[in-house]
Amino acid sequence: MAKARVIIKRRKAVSNIRRITQTMQLISTARYQKCLQRALATQPYTQKITEIIETLGGQESADHPLLRPGENKSSALVLVITSNRGLCGAYNAAVLRKMMELRKSHLDAGRTITMEVVGKKGVNYLKFLGVPVSRSVADVEDRISFARVSEMAERYMAAFERGELASVEVVYTRFVSVSTQRPSVARLLPIEPVAEAAGAEGRGPVAARGGEPAGRPAQNAEFEFSPPPAELLRRLIPEAVKVRLYQYFNDAIVSEQVARMVAMKAATDAAGDMVKYLSRSYNRARQSQITMELADIVGGANAVQ
């Protein structure tokens, strides 16, 4: 009887865990829908402004410091976007692995790296490795305001124009579909052409929901611009940097919610299977106990006779 009681206790504990994981799955599903709508809403604007900049950048009279490589060839800034919480499968491990690969490539090239991290998981990981972090953000959950992203982008652009940085790169998880999220590196500064961004795996503008990179090469055509291309670039490029960075954040947040939703579904299914297994084990233990009790009763009756 002691074994049966232990099994009942375990089954109850597993059932409680299953209810928790199922609730977390439902919450992640609801958050995923909201985050996906937000990412889809900003994507057309990001794509169009990128196309316009590519068209303007092809003009002979067009020039902008954010289109040229940085003057300081030995310094790079890397922004890593991770999550604050766990229980999201390999989401953080994959993006941190990508970050370490990028960091190694910069160090091998003799560059100094300035690390900025979003999310407690990334901060704790780099702290454990002893990697210095210049700035950290630990209060981003399932959304980030465009105003806050704009402040970050303006700081990066100012440092780049002052010649303090050769490049600014973002390591994040690119959302392709519910079943596919890819850890990616996107070069934020200097702005890379759409064709290069689209041709590189996991780089450039955010992928469309069908898996195709956003943006397309501009058609070979001559346009007459008013104001001149240089003036248009001066106004549009800072905005493009901001919306690109905002899109990277949205993609990372959507990917996190999908990863948590999938992980919690797997945990719920595994807990359900364990409940069934423990129920069968309890039934077998109870059956054995009843058989032994019947055998004792029959044996006692035979002894009386």
pLDDT per position as a tens digit, 119-153 = 999 999 999 999 999 999 988 877 888 999 999 99
pLDDT digits (tens, 9 = 90+) for 26-81: 999 999 999 998 888 888 888 888 888 877 766 655 667 777 776 667 889 999 99
Q: Where are the alpha helices (DSSP H) in 130-192?
A: 146-161
pLDDT digit string (tens) for 199-250?
344 444 444 444 444 444 444 456 676 777 777 888 888 999 999 999 999 9
| 28-259 topology per CATH | Pyruvate Kinase; Chain: A, domain 1 (3.40.1380)
Which residues pair with residue 183 across a beta bridge?
Answer: 173
Beta-bridged to residue 213, according to DSSP, are 207
**Whole-prediction pTM:** 0.80
Strands 167-177 and 112-118 come out as unpaired
Output the CA–CA distances (angstroms, integers) from residue 133 to 27, 47, 97, 277, in the order listed: 32, 32, 16, 47
Dist. CA 200–CA 257, nearest whole Å: 25
